[in-house]
Amino acid sequence: KKTVDPKDDSSQKVVQLETAMGAAIECFKGATAIVVPRTRFAPVKKCNDLLLLRSDAYLLENNKPVLNPACGGNAPEMSLDSKKYKLVGALEEATVGGIPSLVRCTKLKVSGLVRMGKGTKFVGDVEIVNNSDEAKFVPA
């Protein structure tokens, strides 16, 4: 379930239906599907994905994002507070001081409002909880 206006939690609730591309492809004569491994693309559906892609956990090679080999073949598991980081603007505010390092992070869970900077480095499994209404800065 979502709201009609993603910027307004009080707007009318709706159910979004998505049709699988595989079902639609049969409408085109001669069309085929191919499987593209995640090593060839980095999907961005949520702010979790965008933060990860912007971080040093990914590198650009020939204008394509690829997982940094220093991650050991696994991208960090990301979980940003879905109520606080629902829209890109909130992520922009959280990272106004720069994108933190995630290359040595295995799991990052953020609950509440935080601010991070370019010098902030997350290592291993990290959980940050801020129960106040005021954003807290994660130091470098």
The set of catalytic residues is 45
Q: Report the relative pairing of strands 121-129 and 13-14 from DSSP bridges.
A: unpaired
User: Hey, which residues does 127 pair with through a beta bridge?
Assistant: 109
Secondary structure letter of residue 32 according to DSSP: -
Distance CA 74, CA 97 (A): 26
Distance CA 2, CA 13 (A): 6
Place of tokens 């085109």: 28
